[in-house]
Structure formats: C-alpha cells, structure tokens
Amino acid sequence: MIKDKIKKIIAFIPMVNFFISNNNSFRTIQFKTWFFQKILGFNRRVYWPVHFTSKVGGYRNVLIDKGTTPGASPGCYIQGIGKIKFGKYIFIAPNVGIITANHDVYDLREHKKSFIEIGDYCWIGMNAVILPGVKLGPHVVVGANSVVKESFKEGFCVIAGNPAKKIKDIDRSKVINFDYSEERIGYMSVEKFEKFKRKHLNKDFF
C-alpha cells in the first residue's frame, strides 16, 4: 500500500517519471548523458541525447526519427550547416563525422551546403565519414574508417573503403524491421515532437 502511494507521488515528478518510462524504449536515455547535456550545457539545445564529447552544429537543420541519436556515441561530429535527415533505428558508432558542407576552394570563408539523407536501420561504423550530398537507402552498413562520398540509394548493402564501394549485398528477405511502440524521438514522445518540429526545425523538412 505504501509502495503504491510512493509510486503515485513519483509519477508526478516529471524527470523521475521520464527516466522510469524511458526504460520501455529501445534507446534508453542515461541520466549521465542528460545531466551533461541539459544541466552542464554540452549540446544543450539539441533535442536528442548527445555524448558530451560529441559535437552537433545546426540542430535546426537535423531531422531524426524514432530510435536514432546521432552523436550519442563518443567523439562524433554532426555538422548541420546543410540539412540532414535520419531515418529510424540508425546505429552510429564513435568518432563518426557527418558533413553537410565544404569550404569553397576559391573563397574559404564561404560554404557550399548540401543535403544528407540516411535511411532506416543503417549502421555507420567507427571513424567513418559521410560527405556532403550522400544519400543512403535503408539497411546500409558502412564499414569502419570508410569515407562515403557517393550515394547508395538502393540500400541493403555493405560498403567500405576510401572512397567507399559496395562490397556485399544484404538479403532483403532476412532483415528484421523492428519497431518499439513507446519509442521516443529524441527526448520527446512522437506527439510532442510533431509540435516541436513545426516550431523549431527547418521548415524545408515538411
């Protein structure tokens, strides 16, 4: 009886309730990550969990889906000068760079912006770099230390190397498109994210 009352009281404390309900998600948000980000200010404005050693620039130009947290692994660099669209349940290893803009070789003060799109259920290996304009279809595995400068829109393949080339096809009949009904988009429920998106993110996304 007393335990039930305590649970009801805790449920009214927003942050405690957040971490309790968070356990039902595929991407469990750690208190340490939240504390470094929201209290100490490392990538504070970014709407999804980011490791304190990673850097996200231009979060308004970055659109994520369920179960995807770019930069949650250590040492990543997500450059949102141009636009980036991430699908759902993307795995991103440590030290990954995703670059949407290069300096103009004739005027280094200027950037040439581009758009990067990464499809559902992709896996980007450690130290890989995704360069401006790349589009990856669903279920693309990017090998460690790869530099991806060309698109693989058809998806369902393993790519590796510098520059990255297709080294293996993935059997579409064997992949599992898992989904979690209570999954959040970043720190928000799907319903709250729709309102947030309209108010804060680049309007070109929708």
Q: What residues act catalytically?
A: 103
Name the strand (E) or helix (H) holding 2.
helix 2-11
Q: Cα–Cα distance between 174 and 123 in angstroms, integer? A: 16
Q: What share of the chain is helix, strand, coil (3-state, %, to 5)?
A: 25, 30, 50
The encoded tokens of residue 79 equal: 């450059």
Q: Cα–Cα distance between 38 and 124 in angstroms, integer? A: 26
Q: Is 40 exposed, middle or buried (0-12, 13-18, 19+ CB in 10 A)?
A: exposed
